[in-house]
Amino acid sequence: MSLILLTGVNGQLGWELQRTLAPLGQVVALPRAQLDLSQPEMIRTVVREYRPGIIVNPAAYTAVDKAESEPDLAHAINAVAPGVLAEEAQKIGALLVHYSTDYVFDGGNPAPYTEDDRPNPQSVYGQSKLAGEDAVRASGCAHVVLRTSWVYGVHGGNFVKTVLRLAKERNELRIVSDQFGAPTWARRLALGSAEILRQCRANPDDASRLGLFHLTAAGRTNWHEYAEEIVRLARQHDPLLRDKPIVIEAIPTSAYPLPAPRPANSVLATGRIRNAFGLALPNWQEDLAECVRELYSGTLQAE
Ligand SMILES: NC(=O)c1ccc[n+]([C@@H]2O[C@H](COP(=O)([O-])OP(=O)(O)OC[C@H]3O[C@@H](n4cnc5c(N)ncnc54)[C@H](OP(=O)(O)O)[C@@H]3O)[C@@H](O)[C@H]2O)c1
C-alpha cells in the first residue's frame, strides 16, 4: 500500500481525513510545525524525504476576512504551496488531491455553478485559492481538485459552533439571508475523498477520474435558514435551549459589512463528480442533523 502524505491535520477536514484515509495505506499526517506550507523549501524537503504515492492537501489559509490584510501570506499558502506540492508530486509520479472553494465565483449567476463556469473571485482568499488551482493544473501532475463550500464539522471552528454559542448567550441573532450556498460536513467530504482515492487507484489510467470536481452537500440554503436549522436541531439535544425564546432576524449582507466580499450565490453543481465516481452527498440538512447529534453526544468531542 502506498504512503499517503496528509497536510493540515488539525483543520476541520484534515482531522477527518486522518481517520478516513487510514484504511487506504500508511498516512503520514503532518501538522504545520513539521510541514509549514509558507516555506516552499520545507515542502520540497518533506516530499522528497517521504516519497508518498498520494499527497492530500486540505491545509489552507482559510481566514477569509483576515486575508484581505494578509494577501502575501494567503497567496503563499493557498497559491504557491499547492504549486510546489504539485511540482514535487509530478517528479515522483504521486497523485495530488487538493481542495478549493466556492468563493472562486463572483456569485452573480443565479444557477448552480459548474466546473466549466468562469471563476471571478471577489476576495483575496478566493483569488489565492483560484491561483492554487491554476498552479496544480499547470504542474502537469496527476491531480484531483475538489471545490467545496461552507464546511463545518465536529473539530475546529465553524458557523455551526458559533450559532450554538450565540444561541446560548443571546435571545436575538441577526443573520444574513441573501447569500446562498450548500453547507458541507467535513466528515462527508473526507469519506468522499477516500472513495475517490480508492477509485483513482483502481483505475490509474482513467483520465475521467482526474481534474477539477465540485463536491458539496445536496440542496441549497442561506445563512439565516441554516442558523434556524442549527437552533432547531440543537433544541432536540440541549435542555437549556429547548424552551428558550430565540429570535433569528434575517438581515441583508449590506447590514453586516465584512472586509471580504462574499458571493450572493455559490451553490455548486455536482453532476461531474456523480458521473465520474458515482458520488453524490446527502442533502445538507441530513448531515447537519448527524453532526449536531454528534456534537451533543460528546463521544467525539475533540475540544
Ligand atoms: N471552511 C470552509 O467553509 C471552506 C469552504 C470552501 C472550501 N474550503 C477549503 O477546504 C479545505 C479545508 O478547509 P477547512 O475548513 O478544513 O480549513 P481549516 O479548518 O481552517 O484548517 C486549515 C488547516 O490548514 C492549516 N494551515 C494553515 N496555514 C498553514 C501553513 N502555513 N502550513 C501548514 N498548515 C497550515 C491549519 O493549521 P493550524 O491548525 O496549525 O492552524 C489548519 O490545520 C481548504 O482548502 C479550504 O480552502 C473550506
Mind listing the pLDDT tens digit for each residue in 68-77? Answer: 999 999 999 9
Q: Report whether pLDDT(300) > 50.
A: no
Please report the atom of ligand 1 found closest to the CA of residue 62. Answer: 20
Q: What grid cell was written down for 39? A: 516555506
Catalytic residues: 125
pLDDT confidence band for 64 (50 / 70 / 90): very high
Please report the atom of ligand 1 found closest to the CA of residue 99. Answer: 45
Q: Report whether pLDDT(303) > 70.
A: no
pLDDT confidence band for 110 (50 / 70 / 90): very high
Residue 302 has a pLDDT of: 41
Nearest CA to ligand 1 atom 7: 101
Q: Report whether pLDDT(299) > 90.
A: no
Q: Is the CB of 148 under 6 A from ligand 1?
A: yes
Residue 57 has a pLDDT of: 98
| All residues at 6 or more sequence positions from 100 whose CB lies less than 8 Å from its CB, including other chains | 129, 130, 132, 133, 145, 146, 147, 148
Q: Is the CB of 6 under 6 A from ligand 1?
A: no
CB 107 within 8 A of CB 263: yes
CB 55 within 8 A of CB 97: yes
CB 65 within 8 A of CB 24: no
* Residue scoring higher pLDDT (240 or 230): 230
Q: Report whether pLDDT(242) > 50.
A: yes
- Render the chain in DSSP notation, one character per residue: ---EEE--TTSHHHHHHHHHTGGGS-EEE--TTTS-TT-HHHHHHHHHHH--SEEEE------TTGGGG-HHHHHIIIIIHHHHHHHHHHHHT-EEEEEEEGGGS-S--SSPBPTTSPP---SHHHHHHHHHHHHHHHHT--EEEEEE-SEE-SSS--HHHHHHHHHHH-SEEEEE-S-EE--EEHHHHHHHHHHHHHHHHH-TT-GGGSEEEE---BS-EEHHHHHHHHHHHHHTT-HHHHT---EEEEE-GGGS--SS---SB--B--HHHHHHH---PPBHHHHHHHHHHHHHH-TT---
Average pLDDT over residues 80-96: 98
Q: Is the CB of 144 under 6 A from ligand 1?
A: no
Q: Report whether pLDDT(290) > 80.
A: yes
Q: Is the CB of 13 under 6 A from ligand 1?
A: yes
How remote is the CA of residue 64 from the centroid of ligand 1, in Å? 11
